[in-house]
Amino acid sequence: MHKALITSAVLALSAGAAMADGITHKIAIHVDDSDMRLMNMALNNANNARNYFQSIGDEVVLEIVAYGPGLQMFLKGQSPVADRIELMALEYQDVTFSACENTLRNMSKNQDRPLELLEEAQIVPSGVARLVELQEDGYSYIKP
C-alpha cells in the first residue's frame, strides 16, 4: 500500500509538471486578399492567439503565409500593414512571414519591374504548397 501511494504521488507530480511546462501550438494563417481589413485581422488573430496561449503557459509558433493578391501584405512600399509586421517581428521571435515566390515572380512580370519584399518576409517557392506542408506538420490552419 505504501508503494502504491508513492507511485500515485509520483504520477500526480509528473502530470502537474507536464501541465506547468505547457504545450506548443503551431498555427498557420493564410492571407490571399489585398483588403487591408483582412490583413489587420490576420495580424490580430496572430496576436490574440499568441497572447492567449502564453497567458496559460503554452508556447506558440505562428506562420503567416501570403500569396495571390494577399502578397501585397509583404510588398515594400505597398503593404498597408508594414509597420505592424515590423513591430511583430521585433517583439516576437516565434512569428514567420512567408511570401509566395510564384506570386512575386508573376506580379513583378506583370508590373514589368522587380518587386521587393519587406525584410521581415521570407520567400517560399509556393504559398499553397507551404500551407500544405505546415498542415502536414501539425499546424492548425486559420483563414481570417
Report d(CA 118, CA 89) in Å as an integer: 11
No. of H helices and E strands in the chain?
A: 5, 5
**Residue 8: per-residue pLDDT:** 44
- For residue range 100-114, what is the model confidence (pLDDT) as tens digits? 999 999 999 999 999
Residue 12 pLDDT more than 60? no
**Residue 22: per-residue pLDDT:** 87
Mean pLDDT of the chain: 89
Report d(CA 17, CA 30) in Å as an integer: 34
| Domain range annotation of the chain | 24-142
**Residue 38: per-residue pLDDT:** 98
Residue 11 pLDDT more than 90? no
- For residue range 19-66, what is the model confidence (pLDDT) as tens digits? 457 899 999 999 999 999 999 999 999 999 999 999 999 999 999 999
Q: Say whether domain 24-142 belongs to CATH 3.40.1260.10.
A: yes
What angle separates helix 82-91 from helix 36-55, to the nearest 10 degrees?
20
Query: What is the rounded (10 degree) CA torsion for 100, 30, 39, 122?
Result: -30
The answer to whether the beta carbons of residues 75 and 109 sit under 8 Å apart is no
pLDDT confidence tier of residue 15, bands split at 50, 70 and 90: very low
**Residue 49: per-residue pLDDT:** 96
The C-alpha cell of 76 is what? Answer: 515594400
- For residue range 65-78, what is the model confidence (pLDDT) as tens digits? 999 999 999 999 99
